[in-house]
């Protein structure tokens, strides 16, 4: 086993929530479903205001192959379809559904199915219909990976969950290991892969043991424990650590014979195949020093975060920053009206002490940002070119290869907001 260049070891802050079973919250009185919750083209709404919908009913249809269907997690009435604040800060057309609290579900179309009873085409079609996307945060439509048409040898199931505070994947590995195994089997059947490697960081030993027990009868399965290091969960870095293969810039994991999928995505694939459930709920970690406690919850997608905060008991102290996702790659929120979307894996309310907003000082040319960059970039050069609006310089320093992991900002002793500058630089290039 190798490790990748760079990376950081932040305090993992997982003990606050890791020992508690996933819980459900009281349902929200309404949900907001943005039509864009995935990488690719936004979905098209297929409902109108005033229409009744049932739990699991499709309310928006994928627009082309790289897109994803969206389903209602509750039964009720479509109130309106209008613009609403998205967790990424943009304003996106969204479907508002008022809960009738009857929880009326669509009639089941089929009986329980096993992967061995289904063809690869049937699996891909079911996953596409269920609107499943990568639940590790990237939200790439899963059916596209399953039907990539390239020779795939290895499926890597990502259970590293390297972001501090987050424990949703960890709890799923402990509580639903059989679903992860079944989802992984389905992926290997679709792609023709001959080996499945489930990768877990060594700060989750119980998950490793649990998965080993459940996969013991499957010779093509391996459970591998890697040293904890951020950003271990990045596709390119996990492939390098496991297979020793570098995915070239601009290439995909499938170009080197690998598919990487998250453990929660596998569980969602299992639910869709076995139970016929579309992706309407997901598990998120609610944590951070501004709460009195931390807990993983299974929540309906579309739940406003204000509802989750209220049901969790509200803030114990005033939060300095609210994040959706982890502290390294999560998105800071300006409103509590934003909903949980398919890619949301955490809701953090951090105190001033946890945020550590130090004043930016001059660069001391220490090179720590370069040493810490897992993509072997020179973050300080990227920041400086952005400040000078030098787009040619940004291209020559390969800014597009930046995976926005934030290791550079984390390591910088001068507290320069390197990632922020890099994101601004990427925006400049898009406008050219």
Residues lying near ligand SF4 in the complex (CB under 6 A) are found at 363-369, 372-375, 377, 379-380, 402-408, 411-414, 416, 418-419, 422
CA–CA distance from 338 to each of 95, 256, 301 (Å)?
A: 13, 38, 11
The DSSP line for 401-421 is G-----HHHHH-TT---HHHH
Residue 93 CB, nearest distance to ligand SF4 (Å)? 30
User: 199 vs 369, which CB is nearer to ligand SF4?
Assistant: 369
Residue 139 CB, nearest distance to ligand SF4 (Å)? 19
User: 113 vs 417, which CB is nearer to ligand SF4?
Assistant: 417
User: 62 vs 369, which CB is nearer to ligand SF4?
Assistant: 369
Spatial neighbors of 395 by CB under 8 A, at least 6 apart, are 429
* For residue 136, cis peptide bond before it (omega within 30 degrees of 0): no
User: 283 vs 407, which CB is nearer to ligand SF4?
Assistant: 407
Among the residues of 118-204, which ranges form H helices?
Answer: 120-129, 142-146, 168-175, 177-191
User: 4 vs 30, which CB is nearer to ligand SF4?
Assistant: 4
Residue 328 CB, nearest distance to ligand SF4 (Å)? 9
Residue 360 CB, nearest distance to ligand SF4 (Å)? 10
What's the rounded Cα separation, in Å, for the pair 150 and 373?
Answer: 30
Residue 368 CB, nearest distance to ligand SF4 (Å)? 4
| Residue 170 DSSP SS3 | helix
Residue 46 CB, nearest distance to ligand SF4 (Å)? 38
Sheet-wide strand order for 23-24? 23-24, 295-300, 281-287, 346-350, 321-324, 331-332
User: 272 vs 416, which CB is nearer to ligand SF4?
Assistant: 416
Residue 383 CB, nearest distance to ligand SF4 (Å)? 7
Cβ atoms of 23 and 297 closer than 8 Å: yes
Structure tokens given for 383: 């920041």
User: 66 vs 138, which CB is nearer to ligand SF4?
Assistant: 138
What's the rounded Cα separation, in Å, for the pair 32 and 42?
Answer: 15
User: 190 vs 419, which CB is nearer to ligand SF4?
Assistant: 419
Residue 341 CB, nearest distance to ligand SF4 (Å)? 23
Spatial neighbors of 121 by CB under 8 A, at least 6 apart, are none
- Beta strand 52-53 pairing with 58-61: unpaired
Residue 270 CB, nearest distance to ligand SF4 (Å)? 33
- Beta strand 58-61 pairing with 70-71: antiparallel
Cβ atoms of 45 and 68 closer than 8 Å: no
User: 73 vs 406, which CB is nearer to ligand SF4?
Assistant: 406
User: 70 vs 407, which CB is nearer to ligand SF4?
Assistant: 407
Residue 239 CB, nearest distance to ligand SF4 (Å)? 16
Query: 253 — phi, psi (to 5°)?
Result: -55, -35
User: 155 vs 422, which CB is nearer to ligand SF4?
Assistant: 422
Taking alpha carbons only, the member of 39, 45, 119 closest to residue 80 is 45
Cβ atoms of 194 and 220 closer than 8 Å: yes
The DSSP line for 296-329 is EEEEETT-BHHHHHHHTT--SS--SEEEES-TTT
Write 136-140 long-range contacts (CB < 8 A, 24+).
136/169, 136/233, 136/262, 136/264, 136/265, 136/345, 137/325, 137/329, 137/343, 137/345, 138/39, 138/343, 139/37, 139/38, 139/39, 139/68, 139/341, 139/342, 139/343, 140/38, 140/39, 140/40
User: 132 vs 405, which CB is nearer to ligand SF4?
Assistant: 405
Residue 361 CB, nearest distance to ligand SF4 (Å)? 8
Residue 103 CB, nearest distance to ligand SF4 (Å)? 43
């Amino acid at each position: 086993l190798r490790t990748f260049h760079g990376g950081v070891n932040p305090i993992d802050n997982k003990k606050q929530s890791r020992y508690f079973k996933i819980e459900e919250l009281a349902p929200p009185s309404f949900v907001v479903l943005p039509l864009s919750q995935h990488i690719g083209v936004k979905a098209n709404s297929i409902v109108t205001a005033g229409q009744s919908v049932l739990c699991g009913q499709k309310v928006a249809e994928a627009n082309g192959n790289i897109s994803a269907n969206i389903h209602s997690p509750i039964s009720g009435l479509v109130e309106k379809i209008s613009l609403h604040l998205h967790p990424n800060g943009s304003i996106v057309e969204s479907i508002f559904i008022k809960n009738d609290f009857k929880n009326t579900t669509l009639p089941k179309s089929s009986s329980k199915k096993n992967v061995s009873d289904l063809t690869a085409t049937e699996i891909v079609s079911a996953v596409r219909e269920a609107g499943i996307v990568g639940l590790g945060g990237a939200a790439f439509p899963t059916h596209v990976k399953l039907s990539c048409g390239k020779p795939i040898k290895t499926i890597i199931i990502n259970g590293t969950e390297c972001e501090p505070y987050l424990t949703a994947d960890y709890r799923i590995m402990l509580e639903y290991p059989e679903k992860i195994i079944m989802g992984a089997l389905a992926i290997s059947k679709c792609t023709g892969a001959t080996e499945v490697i489930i990768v877990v960081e060594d700060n989750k030993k119980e998950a490793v043991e649990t998965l080993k027990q459940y996969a013991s009868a499957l010779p093509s399965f391996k459970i591998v424990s890697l040293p904890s290091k951020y950003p271990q969960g990045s596709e390119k870095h996990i492939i390098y650590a496991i297979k020793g293969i570098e995915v070239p810039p601009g290439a995909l994991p499938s170009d080197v014979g690998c598919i990487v999928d998250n453990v929660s995505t596998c569980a969602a694939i299992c639910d869709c195949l076995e139970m016929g459930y579309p992706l309407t709920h997901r598990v998120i970690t609610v944590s951070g020093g501004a709460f009195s406690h931390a807990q993983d919850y299974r929540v309906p997608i579309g739940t406003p975060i204000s509802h989750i905060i209220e049901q969790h008991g509200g803030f114990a102290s005033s939060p300095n920053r609210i994040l959706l996702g982890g502290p390294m790659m999560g998105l800071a929120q300006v409103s509590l009206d934003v909903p949980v979307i398919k890619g949301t894996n955490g809701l953090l309310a951090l105190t001033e002490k946890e945020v550590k907003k130090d004043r930016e000082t001059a660069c001391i040319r220490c090179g720590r940002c370069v040493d810490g960059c897992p993509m072997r970039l020179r973050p300080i050069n990227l920041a400086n070119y952005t400040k000078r609006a030098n787009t040619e310089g940004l291209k020559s320093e390969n800014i597009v290869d930046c995976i926005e992991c934030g290791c550079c900002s984390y390591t910088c002793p001068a507290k320069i907001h390197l990632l922020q500058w890099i994101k601004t630089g990427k925006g400049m290039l898009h406008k050219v």
